[in-house]
């Protein structure tokens, strides 16, 4: 079934699921799209992916960054205006990097904590190979910017998927691109199980 591949959830592997559950509940109020499970898999440095919360206006970015920091996150990039909008980057206590962003540069409505989209950005070493790999598994490319960035169509998907060059994504996140060991991430979908060229694991949704 072409174009039907959707990501239902992502599972973050964390050393302390109870603490992580508390953090995500306090920080973002995330629902069933983000799951947690215990893992002791060794990991160091950049894990090769970030998660993005897309919201409608800067005040929501500030509110979510604020609750994340209050709940124990650290700032990688303070929220500020940029060419494409307004956003900041924080790192959760479990090590996951979160970008919180709005394409709007000014507030247009009342403040809510509504998250419009969750986007999983995978840092890949060979964009052409990874793009081909995912297209072969039923994903449809929505936007593509050469070797820099690929966004897949996911109109029906709770979590959107984009590919970035590994170094480019680390730069966006504000961290060094070096990293080793487990990604500590599993992607839950009707398309799995498989592992992509960069070692990201997809699994069926339980």
Q: What pLDDT, in 10s, does the model give residues 95-140? A: 999 999 999 999 988 877 889 999 999 999 999 999 999 999 989 9
Strands (E), 136-198: 141-145, 149-152, 159-165, 179-181, 185-189, 194-195
CA distance 152 to 142: 5
The 3-state DSSP composition of the chain as helix, strand, coil percent (nearest 5) reads: 20, 40, 40
Q: pLDDT confidence of 89, banded at 50, 70, 90?
A: very high
φ, ψ at 134 (rounded to 5°): -75, -35
Planar angle of CA 116, 151, 140, nearest 5 degrees: 110
pLDDT in the model for residue 155 = 78
Q: Which of 10-24, 45-59, 117-131, 141-155 has the lowest mean pLDDT?
A: 141-155
pLDDT beyond 50 at 2: no
- The answer for residues whose C-beta is within 8 angstroms of residue 69's C-beta and 6 or more apart is 75, 90
Q: pLDDT confidence of 6, banded at 50, 70, 90?
A: confident
Question: What does pTM read for this prediction?
Answer: 0.94
84 vs 70: which has the higher pLDDT: 70
pLDDT beyond 60 at 7: yes
pLDDT beyond 80 at 192: no
Kindly report the average pLDDT of the chain as a whole number. 93
Half-sphere CA count of 190, side-chain side, radius 13 A: 11
Question: Please, are residues 36 and 106 in contact by the beta-carbon 8 Å criterion?
Answer: no
- pLDDT tens digits for 131-174? 999 999 989 999 999 888 999 998 778 999 999 999 999 999 99
Percent of the chain with pLDDT over 90: 81
CA distance 70 to 55: 19
């Amino acid at each position: 079934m072409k174009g039907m591949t959707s990501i239902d959830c992502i599972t973050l592997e964390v050393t302390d699921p109870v603490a992580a559950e508390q953090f995500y509940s306090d920080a973002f109020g995330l629902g069933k799209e983000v799951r947690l499970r215990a893992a002791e898999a060794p990991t160091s440095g950049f894990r090769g992916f970030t998660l993005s919360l897309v919201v409608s206006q800067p005040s929501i970015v500030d509110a979510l960054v604020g609750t994340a920091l209050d709940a124990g996150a650290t700032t990688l990039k303070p929220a500020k205006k940029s060419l494409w909008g307004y956003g900041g980057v924080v790192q959760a206590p479990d090590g996951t990097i979160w970008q919180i962003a709005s394409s709007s540069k000014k507030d247009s409505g009342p403040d809510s904590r509504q998250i419009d989209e969750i986007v999983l950005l995978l840092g890949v070493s060979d964009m052409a190979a990874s793009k081909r790999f995912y297209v072969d598994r039923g994903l449809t490319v929505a936007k593509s910017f050469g070797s820099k960035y690929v966004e897949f169509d996911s109109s029906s998907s709770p979590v959107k998927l984009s590919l970035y060059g590994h170094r480019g994504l680390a730069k966006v996140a504000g961290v060094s691109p070096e990293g080793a060991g487990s990604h500590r991430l599993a992607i839950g979908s009707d398309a799995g199980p498989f592992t992509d060229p960069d070692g990201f694991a997809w699994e069926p949704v339980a």
